[in-house]
Amino acid sequence: MLLTGRHSDYRDWVNQIVQRAGDMDDPLTAYFMARTVAVAAEPVVSPDTAAGWAELAVADEEKGWYLHCAGLSHLRAGNYEKALERFQQSATTTW
C-alpha cells in the first residue's frame, strides 16, 4: 500500500490489525507488528510502542531478524544508542 501511495489505506489497515492483536504478548506477533509499522515514513503508532513490541520479541529469543527489527524500531523512536546496539547484535547472528 505504501509503495502505491495508498497511505490512508495503510494507516487504516495498521489500526485494524493493532486492534485485532490486542495486548501484545506473543513474541512472533509483536515482531510482525513492529516490522509492519517500522516501514512507514510517518508513524501510525507511537515509535516507542513499536520498539516495545520489538523488544518483546527479542526478550523471547535473540534471533537476527528480531534484533534487526528492534534496531529499526529504536532508530524510528530516536533511541540511537539502543538502535546501534541492536543492529550490531543482529550482525553477529546467523540468519
User: What b-and-e string marks burial along 72-94, b requiring 16 or more CB atoms within 10 Å of the CB?
Assistant: bbbbbbebeebbeebbebbeeee
The pTM of the full predicted model, rounded to 2 decimals, is 0.89
Distance CA 42, CA 59 (A): 27
Provide the pLDDT confidence category of residue 92 given band limits of 50, 70 and 90: very high
- Can you tell me the mean pLDDT for 48-72? 96
Provide the pLDDT confidence category of residue 86 given band limits of 50, 70 and 90: very high
Cβ neighbors of 25 (< 8 A, separation 6 or more) are: 56
- pLDDT over 90 percentage in the chain: 73
Distance CA 50, CA 52 (A): 5
Please provide the average confidence, as pLDDT, over all residues in the chain: 92
